[in-house]
């Protein structure tokens, strides 16, 4: 996708973090914005700021885990702007701790947002984009699904999150192949960021009441939360940096998008272990202090 000005971008999780950075970047390129987020107040603030910069914005409070919410978002986008060109299936939440200590509610919440949110986005918006392409011989489209380096590695005490992000990588790779089967003028990418200050560590504040845990967090869950919080706060790349990297990749038609390509050595180690039938590689092998901190935390 080479042309952005005047085109329409749909962004979930748009009120903060990577989603807000995508919106800022898209607005700077002259795109029309369809913004979705579960946080109504933050979404209102983002909308007002973008409109003050001259952007055309349609904003809706959306729970991406609910199919009907994504369908309503798509309908509103087509009514307002009559087309969709760039879709960021970006909304995400996180839960950690020893994998057997995660509750059913943890699984339902994280998979609902991180995986089903992307599933709904692909199922609803891809047919719309294909129809837009049939109507316009010059149409260009692109879908970016936000996964994580946790979708290529398997760090300890992040099991629910790892599972959700591995599924997004698989879904995105299949989407890429399927779009080529039908020779669509639509590209697909999967974004795999590492620790970036985005606010995801506070995502529990927007957890649905019916999926809240009655029991207090376990020592391993507290340790995982503390570790991720410190790692995110220490991140040297900002959300704006990742947005710039992502839009460059969209222009160039790249599928895999990395914020920290230096970690691909760990991905290669994981793949080598798979090929040679070895035990799973340690995602934190280069940072043993992280494993030690998790061990200490898990023991209380």
What is 8-298's CATH superfamily?
A: NAD(P)-binding Rossmann-like Domain (3.40.50.720)
The DSSP bridge pattern shows strands 8-12 and 86-89 to be parallel
The DSSP bridge pattern shows strands 86-89 and 57-61 to be unpaired
Higher-confidence residue of 288 and 207: namely 207
CA distance 143 to 164: 18
Q: Which residues pair with 58 in a beta bridge?
A: 34
pLDDT of residue 140: 98
Q: Choose the catalytic residue: 139, 161, 194, 258.
A: 161
Does residue 268 carry a pLDDT above 90?
A: yes
Q: Do 182 and 138 contact (CB within 8 A), yes or no?
A: no
Higher-confidence residue of 204 and 133: namely 133
* pLDDT tens per residue across span 116-168: 999 999 999 999 999 999 999 999 999 999 999 999 999 999 999 999 999 99
- Can you give the C-alpha Rg of the chain in angstroms? 19
Residue 161 is among the residues annotated as catalytic for this protein: yes
Domain layout of the chain by residue ranges:
8-298
Phi, psi of 186 (to 5 degrees): -130, 125
pLDDT band at 294 (very low <50, low <70, confident <90, very high): confident
Does residue 10 carry a pLDDT above 90?
A: yes
CA distance 16 to 106: 22
The DSSP bridge pattern shows strands 86-89 and 32-37 to be unpaired
pLDDT of residue 279: 97
pLDDT of residue 117: 98
pLDDT of residue 287: 79
pLDDT band at 88 (very low <50, low <70, confident <90, very high): very high
SS3 187: strand
pLDDT of residue 204: 87
pLDDT band at 24 (very low <50, low <70, confident <90, very high): very high
């Amino acid at each position: 996708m080479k042309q952005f000005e005047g085109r329409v971008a749909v962004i979930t999780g748009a009120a903060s973090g990577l989603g807000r950075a995508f919106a800022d970047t898209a607005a700077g390129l002259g795109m029309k914005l369809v913004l979705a987020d579960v946080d109504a107040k933050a979404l209102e603030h983002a909308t007002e700021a973008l409109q003050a910069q001259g952007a055309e914005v349609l904003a809706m409070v959306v729970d991406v885990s609910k199919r009907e919410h994504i369908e309503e978002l798509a309908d509103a986008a087509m009514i307002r702007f009559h087309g969709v060109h760039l879709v960021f299936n970006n909304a995400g939440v996180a839960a950690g701790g020893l994998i057997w200590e995660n509750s059913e509610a943890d699984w339902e919440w994280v998979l609902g947002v991180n995986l089903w949110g992307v599933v709904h986005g692909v199922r609803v918006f891809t047919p719309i984009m294909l129809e837009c392409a049939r109507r316009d011989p010059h149409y260009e489209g692109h879908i970016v699904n936000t996964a994580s380096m946790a979708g290529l590695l398997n760090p300890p005490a992040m099991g629910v999150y790892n599972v959700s992000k591995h599924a997004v990588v698989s879904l995105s790779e299949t989407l890429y192949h399927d779009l080529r089967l039908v020779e669509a003028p639509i590209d697909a990418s999967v974004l795999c960021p590492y620790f970036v200050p985005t606010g995801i560590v506070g995502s529990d504040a927007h957890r649905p009441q019916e999926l809240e845990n009655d029991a207090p967090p376990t020592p391993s869950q507290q340790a995982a939360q503390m570790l991720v919080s410190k790692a995110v706060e220490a991140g040297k790349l900002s959300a704006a940096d990742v947005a710039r990297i992502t839009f460059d990749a969209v222009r160039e038609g790249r599928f895999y998008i990395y914020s920290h390509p230096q970690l691909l050595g760990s991905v290669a180690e994981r793949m080598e272990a798979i090929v040679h039938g070895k035990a799973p590689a340690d995602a934190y092998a280069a940072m043993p202090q992280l494993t030690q901190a998790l061990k200490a935390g898990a023991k209380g």
